[in-house]
Amino acid sequence: MGRVGLTADRVARAGAELADEVGFEQVTPSAVARRVGVQVASLYSHVRNAEDLRVRIALLALEEMADRGAAALAGRAGRDALVALGATYRDYAREHPGRYAAAQLRLDHETAMASAGPRHSAMMRAILRGYELPEPEQTHAVRLIGSVIHGYIIQELGGSFDHSEPGPQQSWDRILDALDSLLRHWPHEGQR
Amino acid sequence: MGRVGLTADRVARAGAELADEVGFEQVTPSAVARRVGVQVASLYSHVRNAEDLRVRIALLALEEMADRGAAALAGRAGRDALVALGATYRDYAREHPGRYAAAQLRLDHETAMASAGPRHSAMMRAILRGYELPEPEQTHAVRLIGSVIHGYIIQELGGSFDHSEPGPQQSWDRILDALDSLLRHWPHEGQR
DNA sequence: TCGGCTTCCTAAAAGATTTAGGTTGTTGCA
DNA sequence: TGCAACAACCTAAATCTTTTAGGAAGCCGA
Place A165 in a pLDDT band, splitting at 50, 70 and 90. confident
Contacts of A147 in chain B (CB under 8 A): 147-149, 151-152, 155, 175
Share of chain A above pLDDT 90, in %: 91
Question: How deeply is B5 buried, as exposed, middle or buried, from its count of CB atoms within 10 A (0-12, 13-18, 19+)?
Answer: exposed
Per-residue pLDDT of A115-143, as tens digits, reads 999 999 999 999 999 999 998 899 999 99
ipTM over 0.90: yes
Place B101 in a pLDDT band, splitting at 50, 70 and 90. very high
- Least confident range from A44-48, A123-127, A154-158, A161-165: namely A161-165
CA B96 – CA B92 distance, rounded (Å): 6
> Contact B126/B77 with Cβ under 8 angstroms?
no
Check: CATH 1.20.1530.20 for B58-184? Answer: no
Q: What is the DSSP string of A80-149?
A: HHHHHHHHHHHHHHHH-HHHHHHHTS---HHHHHHSSHHHHHHHHHHHHTTS---HHHHHHHHHHHHHHH
> Contact B140/A137 with Cβ under 8 angstroms?
no
Domain A8-184: homologous superfamily in CATH: Tetracycline Repressor, domain 2 (1.10.357.10)
Q: Which residue of A has its CA nearest to B178?
A: A187
Give the minimum alpha-carbon distance from A124 to chain B in angstroms, rounded to a whole number: 13
Specify the higher pLDDT residue, A158 or B163: A158
Q: What are phi and psi of B116, to 5 degrees?
A: -80, 0
pLDDT at residue B191 above 70? no
pLDDT score, position A74: 96
Per-residue pLDDT of B39-53, as tens digits, reads 999 999 999 999 999
The pLDDT of B85-99, averaged and rounded, is 98
Contacts of A183 in chain B (CB under 8 A): none
Give the minimum alpha-carbon distance from B145 to chain A in angstroms, rounded to a whole number: 8
The residue lying closest to nucleotide D26, measuring its CA against C1', is B3
pLDDT score, position B192: 59
CB-closest option in A25, A106, A186 to B178: A186
> Contact B170/A144 with Cβ under 8 angstroms?
no
In B 156-185, which Cβ lie closer than 7 Å to strand C? none
Per-residue pLDDT of B25-80, as tens digits, reads 999 999 999 999 999 999 999 999 999 999 999 999 999 999 999 999 999 999 99
Contacts of B174 in chain A (CB under 8 A): 137, 140, 189
CA A172 – CA A46 distance, rounded (Å): 40
Q: Where are the domains of chain A?
A: 8-184
CB of B35 lies under 7 Å from some atom of strand D: no
Per-residue pLDDT of B150-190, as tens digits, reads 999 999 999 999 888 899 999 999 999 999 999 999 998 76
Specify the higher pLDDT residue, A1 or A61: A61
